[in-house]
């Protein structure tokens, strides 16, 4: 991880994913694990991988967007 954080963390911040923060550690870890095993996930892949994480603030659309953004960043060879 770089001083600026993992690409998933950077995308989370850029897209204002967290609200209450309660689920964020699990969401971030699941997202990073997904991208480590599937660098170009579809929406269905993301939904399946993240299904065990419940977000009481319902930021699922932003979570999915952040995962896609992180995938693009990682594919471009930027922050890993």
Summarised one tens digit per residue, pLDDT across range 68-80 is 999 999 999 854 4
Class of the domain covering 7-75:
mainly alpha
Element (H, E) at 12: helix 7-14
- Asked whether the predicted pLDDT for residue 9 surpasses 90, the reply is yes
Domain spans of the chain? Answer: 7-75
- Tell me the residue length of the chain: 80
pLDDT tens digits for 29-75? 999 999 999 999 999 999 999 999 999 999 999 999 999 999 999 99
Query: What does the pLDDT read at residue 33?
Result: 97
| pLDDT for 5 | 83
- The CA distance from 78 to 3, in Å, is 13
pLDDT of residue 3: 60
């Amino acid at each position: 991880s770089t001083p600026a954080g993992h690409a998933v963390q950077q995308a989370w911040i850029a897209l204002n994913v967290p609200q209450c923060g309660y689920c964020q550690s699990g969401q971030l870890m699941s997202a990073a694990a997904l991208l480590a095993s599937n660098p170009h996930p579809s929406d269905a892949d993301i939904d399946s991988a993240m299904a065990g994480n419940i977000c009481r603030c319902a930021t699922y659309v932003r979570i999915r967007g952040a995962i896609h953004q992180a995938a693009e960043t990682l594919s471009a060879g930027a922050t890993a």
